[in-house]
C-alpha cells in the first residue's frame, strides 16, 4: 500500500547521473523520492516515526542545560567559537527531508525487489551457504555482538576474544599451519599480504613473485595493484612448468590456488619443494570446506595459507563482508598482518585472552609497516567460528562430502550429455566444462534462473555449495542436456556414488584430524549453542550496556531500522559477479549513496570499493599517485604526514611507495605551519601529497587548515584528508571546501555501520573531478574511472551488503538531521570537556577554550604518584564504562569522543564516574592510599577477586565493586582481573588451550 501511495504522489523524479561513478554499467531506474508537505494544514497528518529524534540523544531542556554549562546562548554561538568561519559551508546540505522509518523500509524493499535472486554457481571464491538461524539471529542480528569495539580492553572483551581464538584454532587446524590471525578483509588483499610477507622474508631484495595462472582473476588483479608500489615483478605462469631454479637470486615466492579457479585439485608437494630449493616462499589460496577432505597446505610444505571463510556460514552479500583467513609457519609470526589473539594470564594468575604481538601492527610500526590493516572482519570471523562450533568436525565433513557427491552426480549428468569435463576425476566442488559455445549455455542457464561462469568462449565453470537441493541439481543438469539426448533419472546418475569414494587423487585425501578441541564438540544442539553464544556475549561490554567514548572511533547508534535490510535475501544472497541486469536494485542504491556522499564531501567522484578506512587511505593515495604519473611526474613520491597522524597514514603512504616526511605539531597541538612550509619547500620537486586529519587528531578545528592545503597545492602537491573525524564536519563544512583533493569516509564511524568487535568496516573515497578518472576498477565487473587503478578489494563494491545501513541512515536523517547530529556531537564533547575540565587538565583547546568532537584528558600530572592512563582506564571498567582511547595521540592521556547518540544523562553518568575517579586519585596524591596498592592500580575488580577469602587491600570490597550508587542496580562485571600483557607475548599461544590448562 505504501509503495502504491508513493508512486501516486511521487512528483518530480530525480534522475541518476549520466556518468556513473560507482559502476560503468548503464544507469538503472532511479528511486522514487517521497515528498513531505510543509503545509500547516497537513502537519497533523505527518508520520510520527521520524528518525532524527531517535538517533540524537538529547533535545530541548537537555541541550539548553549543556549550552548553559558552556556559557553560550545557543548552538550557533557555540559553533562560532569552535569552527573557523572561513571553512563554514555557505549552503545547507542538499539531501532532502528525512524519510520516516516505516516508509524508508518500504521504499528500500521496493528497490531491493529489482534485484533478481538467480541461483548462482559462479564460484570464484563465493558460494551460497546455509547460515544457521541460531547464529544469524544471535550474532549477526544481535547488537550485543555487532556494537562491540575492537577488543583492546581484554577485561571486558573475553567473550569475543574467546570466539576469535576459536576462529584462529579452526584456521590452524584446517590449514595445517601453526599460527593464524583473527581475520583479514578479503581473499584478494590477503594474497597481497602473503606476497609482501614473502618479499620481507627475502629481506626485500628478491622482487619476483610468481602467481599460478589458475588463481582467481580478482586475486591476481589485487596482487598486481599492491606489487606495483613495491617494484615487485608479478609473473603469471603455469607453475608446474616454471623454471624456479633459474631465478634463485630474485624469487621471493609463489602463490597457488588449491583447488584452483577452474576446479582442479592438484598435488603441489613437489612444486613446493622446488620453490623452497630456489629460496622462495609458498603461499596457498585455499577453501576451508575443501580442506575438510583434502590434505592441508601445511602438510605439503606451504609457508602460508589464505582464503575466504565466507562459505562457513556467511551470506555472499554481493561481495561482502566476509572474513579472510591467514595462517603461516611460526617463523613468520612477527611479519603476519592483522590482529592476533593470544592466551595470557590475568593478575589473579588465571588464563585470559588478549590481543598479542601488537608491536607488529601499523599503529606501532607506522611508516615501517608494509601492511596498514586496522579494521578487519571480526563479526564475520565470529560467525564462521560459530559455524564450526555448531557443526563440529563430523558435521563440516559431512557437508563437504555432500557437496562433493552433488558435484560427482552433476559430472555424470554432464558426461551423459556428451560434454567434456576439463578436470574430470580431479575436483571437489567445481567443474570446468567444454561446451563449444559458452554464450549459448549461459543464455539457457539464465532462462532457467541459473548463473554460471564463462571461463572463456568455450568453457563454462560450475561451482556447487551446501544449499543445493536435488531439484536444483536436476534443473542444473537440464541446462547441459543437449537436444535429443535422452533424460537420465537422478537415481541413475547417483549410482556413480557407489563406485567412487572421492573425486580427486588418492594421495590428496585428508588423513589428519581437525577441530578436536572440546569447543567444537560440545554445542551441537540449538539449546546448547544458544547458551554458549549468550555465555560469551555476557562477558563483553557493548553499546547495549553503556556509551563507548573511544576517541577517534565514533561509537554511535547502529539503529535497528538501518540493520534490518542487511539480511534481506535481495541483498544477502547476490553473488558479486552476478550479471548486471540482476543487480539493478543494488546499483541504484549504490548510486544514490554515492550521490549523497558527494554532496556531503563536496567532491565529484566516489568509489565504494575500499573495505576499511585504511584501505580508503591506500586507495586515495594510489589515485594521487596515478594522477601524478599521468602528468609525467613519476618523481613525485614524498608524502608529508603530521606526527600526530593515525598510524594507518604513514603505513598507507609506505604501501604506495611514497617516502614519508614527518611534520611537527606546535605546543598547542596545531600543525606547525613553519615546519610544514619548510619541508614542503625542501621537497617541492618530489612533493606528492600531504595527509591531514580534520578536525585534528588532537580534537581541534585548526584555523590554518586551508592555508596548509594551499601551501602544498602551490608546490604541485595534492591534499589527502583522513575522514576518521568526518562526524564533526557533516553539514557544517566539507573536505572540498577545506581544500582537500581526496578523502575517505569511515562508514563504520560517521555513517552507522557497526564496528562489529573489529570489523566489518567500509572506507569509500571521494575526490575531485581531476582525480575521478583514476578511481579503482575491477577485472570482472566494470566500475571505476576511465583510467582506473587496479582493484583495492576483491569485490567491485567492497562489502556491498552493509552499504544499505549508511544509505538508510542518510535518508532517514535528511540534510537537516545530519547537520543537527554534527552539532550535537560537538556540543556533547564540549559539555563533557567543560565538566571534566573542573577536575582534570584538558589538553589542546582553541583560543576560545573549545574542542571539536573529542578531547584529551591529561593524566600525566599523576604519574609520579604511580597513577597512569591505563589505571584510570581500567578503573572506569569498574564503573561500567569502556575505557577511552589510551595514550594516543599523547602518552598518558585519555581521548574521549561522545557521539550525538548519547543522552545528557549518559554523558553525566560518565562524567560523574571520571570525577569520582579523580577523588580516588586525590586519596593517593594525599597519601591516604599507598602508591601502587590502591583501587586504581588494581582495577578492574572481577567477581572472583571480590569473592576471594582473603582481602588485604587498603580499600574495601564495597569501594572496589560499587563506587557509585547506580552500580547496585546496573553493574557490568569485568570477567577477569587486569591482563598481564608481557606474559602473553613472552609465552605466545594463539590457539585454544586444552581444558586441563584451566584446572
CA distances from 887 to 156, 363, 854, 948 (A): 19, 12, 14, 32
CA-atom Rg of the chain in angstroms: 28
Q: pLDDT tens for residues 655-680?
A: 999 999 999 999 888 899 999 999 99
* Domains of the chain from N-terminus onward: 1-38+49-115+812-932 (3.90.1150.10), 150-377+385-389 (3.40.640.10), 605-800 (3.40.640.10)
Cis bond upstream, residue 889 (ω within 30): yes
Angle at 792 between CA 786 and CA 797, to 5 degrees: 75
Going by pLDDT thresholds of 50, 70 and 90, the confidence category of residue 42 is confident
Going by pLDDT thresholds of 50, 70 and 90, the confidence category of residue 253 is very high
Residue 703 is placed in which grid cell? 584555523
- Return the pLDDT at 28: 39
Q: pLDDT tens for residues 170-212?
A: 999 999 999 999 999 999 999 999 999 999 999 899 999 999 9
Element (H, E) at 690: strand 687-693
- Measure the CA–CA gap between 480 and 432, rounded to whole angstroms: 12
* Range 579-607 average pLDDT: 98
Residue 111 is placed in which grid cell? 528497490
Find all residues with CB under 8 Å of 987, minimum gap 6, and list them.
Answer: 344
Q: Is residue 126 within 8 Å of residue 575, measured between CB atoms?
A: yes
Q: Please determine, for residue 988, whether its predicted confidence score (pLDDT) is greater than 90.
A: no
Burial letters 364-374, b for 16+ CB under 10 A, else e: ebbbebbbbbb
Alpha-helix runs per DSSP H in 340-494: 362-365, 378-416, 438-447, 470-480, 490-493
- The closest alpha carbon to 753, from 764, 766, 769, 738, belongs to 764
- Return the pLDDT at 39: 66
**Residue 728 or 990, more confident:** 728
Chain centroid to Cα 593, Å, comes to 18
Half-sphere exposure at residue 659, Cβ-oriented, CA atoms within 13 angstroms: 11
pLDDT above 90 covers what percent of the chain?
88
Burial letters 904-943, b for 16+ CB under 10 A, else e: bebbbbbbebbbebbebbebbbeeebeeeebbbbbbbbbe
Burial letters 1-20, b for 16+ CB under 10 A, else e: eeeeebeeeeeeeeebeeeb
Residue spans of beta strands (DSSP E) within 447-531: 450-451, 453-454, 459-463
Q: Please determine, for residue 111, whether its predicted confidence score (pLDDT) is greater than 90.
A: yes
CA distances from 197 to 141, 427, 763, 772, 933 (A): 36, 30, 24, 32, 44
Going by pLDDT thresholds of 50, 70 and 90, the confidence category of residue 501 is low
* Range 120-137 average pLDDT: 99
Q: pLDDT tens for residues 529-586?
A: 999 999 999 999 999 999 999 999 999 999 999 999 999 999 999 999 999 999 999 9
- Return the pLDDT at 845: 96
- Return the pLDDT at 985: 77
Determine the 3-state secondary structure of 877 from DSSP: helix
Q: How far apart are the first and last CA of the chain?
A: 62
Cβ-in-10-Å burial (0-12, 13-18, 19+) of 506 comes to exposed
Residue 743 is placed in which grid cell? 578523502
- Return the pLDDT at 375: 78
* Range 436-443 average pLDDT: 96
CB atoms within 10 A of CB 110: 16
- Return the pLDDT at 233: 98
Residue 3 is placed in which grid cell? 509503495
Q: pLDDT tens for residues 848-882?
A: 999 999 999 999 999 999 999 999 999 999 999 99
Point out the least confidently predicted range of 87-96, 424-433, 983-992: 983-992
- Measure the CA–CA gap between 94 and 99, rounded to whole angstroms: 14
Task: Walk across the sheet containing 233-237 and list its strands.
Answer: 179-180, 324-328, 304-308, 281-286, 251-258, 208-212, 233-237
Task: Walk across the sheet containing 340-346 and list its strands.
Answer: 351-356, 340-346, 979-980
Residue 962 is placed in which grid cell? 560499587
- Measure the CA–CA gap between 654 and 370, rounded to whole angstroms: 7
- Return the pLDDT at 994: 60
- Return the pLDDT at 368: 56
Cβ-in-10-Å burial (0-12, 13-18, 19+) of 106 comes to middle
Q: pLDDT tens for residues 620-643?
A: 999 999 999 999 999 999 999 999
- Return the pLDDT at 24: 36
Q: For 792, list phi and psi in degrees, rounded to 5.
A: -95, -25
Question: Quick check: pTM over 0.85?
Answer: yes
Q: Provide the residue count of the chain.
A: 999
- Measure the CA–CA gap between 901 and 947, rounded to whole angstroms: 36
DSSP collapsed to 3 states, 623-634:
HHHHHHHHCCCC
- Return the pLDDT at 500: 66
Find all residues with CB under 8 Å of 246, minimum gap 6, and list them.
Answer: none
Amino acid at each position: 500500500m505504501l509503495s502504491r501511495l508513493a508512486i501516486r504522489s511521487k512528483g518530480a523524479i530525480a534522475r541518476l547521473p549520466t556518468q556513473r561513478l560507482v559502476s560503468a554499467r548503464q544507469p538503472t531506474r532511479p528511486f522514487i523520492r517521497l515528498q513531505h508537505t510543509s503545509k500547516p494544514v497537513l502537519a497533523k497528518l505527518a508520520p510520527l516515526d521520524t528518525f532524527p529524534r531517535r538517533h540524537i540523544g538529547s533535545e530541548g531542556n537537555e541541550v539548553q542545560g549543556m549550552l548553559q554549562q558552556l556559557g553560550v546562548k545557543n548552538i550557533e554561538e557555540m559553533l562560532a567559537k569552535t569552527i573557523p568561519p572561513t571553512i563554514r559551508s555557505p549552503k545547507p546540505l542538499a539531501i532532502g527531508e528525512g524519510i520516516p522509518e516505516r516508509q524508508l523500509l518500504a521504499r528500500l524493499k521496493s528497490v531491493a525487489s529489482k534485484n533478481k535472486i538467480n541461483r548462482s554457481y559462479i564460484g570464484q571464491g563465493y558460494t551460497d551457504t546455509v547460515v544457521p538461524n541460531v547464529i544469524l539471529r544471535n550474532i549477526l542480528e544481535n547488537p550485543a555482538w555487532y556494537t562491540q569495539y575492537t577488543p583492546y580492553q581484554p577485561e571486558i572483551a573475553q567473550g569475543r576474544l574467546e570466539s576469535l581464538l576459536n576462529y584462529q584454532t579452526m584456521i590452524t587446524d584446517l590449514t595445517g599451519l601453526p599460527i593464524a590471525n583473527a581475520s583479514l578483509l578479503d581473499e584478494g588483499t590477503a594474497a597481497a599480504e602473503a606476497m609482501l610477507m614473502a618479499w620481507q622474508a627475502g629481506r626485500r631484495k628478491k622482487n619476483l613473485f610468481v602467481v599460478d595462472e589458475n588463481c582467481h582473476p580478482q586475486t591476481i588483479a589485487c596482487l598486481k595493484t599492491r606489487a606495483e608500489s613495491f617494484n615487485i615483478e608479478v609473473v603469471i605462469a603455469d607453475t608446474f612448468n616454471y623454471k624456479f631454479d633459474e631465478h634463485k637470486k630474485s624469487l621471493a615466492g609463489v602463490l597457488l590456488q588449491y583447488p584452483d579457479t577452474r576446479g582442479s585439485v592438484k598435488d603441489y608437494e613437489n612444486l613446493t619443494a622446488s620453490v623452497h630449493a630456489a629460496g622462495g616462499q609458498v603461499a596457498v589460496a585455499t577453501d576451508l570446506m575443501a580442506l575438510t577432505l583434502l590434505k592441508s597446505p601445511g602438510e605439503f610444505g606451504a609457508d602460508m595459507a589464505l582464503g575466504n571463510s565466507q562459505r562457513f556460514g556467511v551470506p555472499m552479500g554481493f561481495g561482502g563482508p566476509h572474513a579472510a583467513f591467514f595462517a603461516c609457519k611460526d617463523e613468520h609470526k612477527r611479519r603476519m598482518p592483522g590482529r592476533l589473539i593470544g592466551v595470557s594470564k590475568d593478575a589473579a594468575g588465571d588464563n585470559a585472552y588478549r590481543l598479542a604481538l601488537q608491536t607488529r601492527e601499523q599503529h606501532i610500526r607506522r611508516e615501517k609497516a608494509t601492511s596498514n590493516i586496522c579494521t578487519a572482519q571480526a563479526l564475520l570471523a565470529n560467525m564462521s567460528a560459530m559455524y564450526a562450533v555448531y557443526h563440529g568436525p563430523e558435521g563440516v565433513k559431512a557437508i563437504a562430502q555432500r557437496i562433493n557427491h552433488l558435484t560427482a552426480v552433476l559430472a555424470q549428468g554432464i558426461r551423459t550429455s556428451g560434454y567434456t569435463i576439463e578436470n574430470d576425476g580431479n575436483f571437489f566442488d567445481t567443474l570446468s566444462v567444454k561446451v563449444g559455445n559458452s554464450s549459448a549455455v549461459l543464455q539457457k542457464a539464465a532462462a532457467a534462473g541459473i548463473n554460471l561462469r564463462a571461463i572463456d568462449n568455450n568453457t563454462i565453470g560450475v561451482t556447487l555449495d551446501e544449499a543445493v537441493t536435488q531439484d536444483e541439481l536436476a534443473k542444473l543438469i537440464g541446462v547441459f542436456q543437449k537436444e535429443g539426448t535422452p533424460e537420465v533419472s537422478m537415481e541413475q546418475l547417483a549410482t556413480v556414488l557407489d563406485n567412487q569414494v572421492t573425486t580427486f587423487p588418492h594421495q590428496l585425501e585428508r588423513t589428519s584430524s581437525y577441530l578436536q578441541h572440546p569447543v567444537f564438540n560440545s554445542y551441537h544442539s540449538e539449546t546448547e549453542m544458544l547458551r554458549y553464544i549468550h555465555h560469551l556475549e555476557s562477558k563483553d561490554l557493548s553499546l547495549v550496556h553503556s556509551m563507548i567514548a573511544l576517541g577517534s572511533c565514533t561509537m554511535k547508534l547502529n539503529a535497528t531500522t538501518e540493520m534490518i535490510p542487511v539480511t534481506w535475501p535481495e541483498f544477502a544472497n547476490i553473488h558479486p559477479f552476478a550479471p548486471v541486469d540482476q543487480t539493478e536494485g543494488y546499483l541504484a542504491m549504490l548510486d544514490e549513496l554515492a550521490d549523497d556522499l558527494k554532496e556531503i564531501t563536496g567532491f565529484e567522484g566516489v568509489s565504494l570499493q575500499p573495505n576499511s578506512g585504511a584501505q580508503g587511505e591506500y586507495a586515495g593515495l594510489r589515485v594521487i599517485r596515478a594522477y601524478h604519473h599521468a602528468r609525467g611526474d613519476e618523481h613525485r613520491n614524498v608524502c608529508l604526514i603530521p606526527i600526530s597522524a593515525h598510524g594507518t597514514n604513514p603505513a598507507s603512504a609506505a604501501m604506495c611507495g611514497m617516502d614519508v616526511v614527518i611534520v611537527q605539531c606546535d605546543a598547542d597541538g596545531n600543525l606547525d605551519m613553519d615546519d610544514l612550509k619548510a619541508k614542503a619547500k625542501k621537497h617541492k620537486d618530489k612533493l606528492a601529497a600531504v595527509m591531514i586529519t580534520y578536525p585534528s587528531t588532537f580534537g581541534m578545528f585548526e584555523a590554518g587548515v586551508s592555508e596548509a592545503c594551499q601551501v602544498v597545492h602551490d608546490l604541485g602537491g595534492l591534499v589527502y584528508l583522513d575522514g576518521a573525524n568526518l562526524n564533526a564536519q557533516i553539514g557544517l563544512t566539507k573536505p572540498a571546501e577545506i581544500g582537500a583533493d581526496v578523502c575517505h569516509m569511515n562508514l563504520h564511524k560517521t555513517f552507522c555501520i557497526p564496528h562489529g568487535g573489529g570489523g566489518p568496516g567500509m572506507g569509500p573515497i571521494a575526490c575531485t573531478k581531476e582525480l575521478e578518472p583514476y578511481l579503482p576498477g575491477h577485472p570482472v565487473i566494470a566500475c571505476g574511472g576511465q583510467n582506473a587503478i587496479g582493484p583495492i578489494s576483491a569485490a567491485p563494491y567492497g562489502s556491498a551488503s552493509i552499504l544499505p545501513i549508511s544509505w538508510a541512515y542518510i535518508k532517514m536523517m535528511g540534510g537537516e538531521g545530519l547537520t543537527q547530529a554534527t552539532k550535537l556531537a560537538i556540543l556533547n564533547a564540549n559539555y563533557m570537556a567543560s565538566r571534566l575540565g573542573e577536575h582534570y587538565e584538558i589538553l589542546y583547546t582553541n583560543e576560545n577554550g573549545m574542542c571539536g568532537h573529542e578531547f584529551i584528558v591529561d593524566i600525566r600530572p599523576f604519574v609520579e604518584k604511580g597513577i597512569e592512563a591505563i589505571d584510570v582506564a581500567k578503573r572506569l571498567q569498574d564503573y561500567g564504562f569502556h575505557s577511552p582511547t589510551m595514550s594516543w595521540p599523547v602518552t598518558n592521556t585519555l581521548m574521549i569522543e561522545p557521539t550525538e547518540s548519547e543522552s545528557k544523562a549518559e554523558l553525566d553518568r560518565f562524567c560523574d564516574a571520571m570525577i569520582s575517579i579523580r577523588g580516588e586519585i586525590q586519596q593517593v596524591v594525599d597519601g591516604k592510599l599507598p602508591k601502587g596498592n590502591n583501587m586504581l592500580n588494581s582495577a578492574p575488580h572481577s567477581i572472583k577477586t571480590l569473592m576471594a577469602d582473603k582481602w588485604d587491600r587498603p580499600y574495601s570490597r564495597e569501594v572496589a565493586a560499587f563506587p557509585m550508587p547506580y552500580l547496585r542496580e546496573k553493574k557490568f562485571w569485568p570477567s577477569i582481573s587486569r591482563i598481564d600483557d608481557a606474559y602473553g607475548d613472552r609465552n605466545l599461544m594463539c590457539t585454544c588451550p586444552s581444558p586441563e590448562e584451566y584446572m
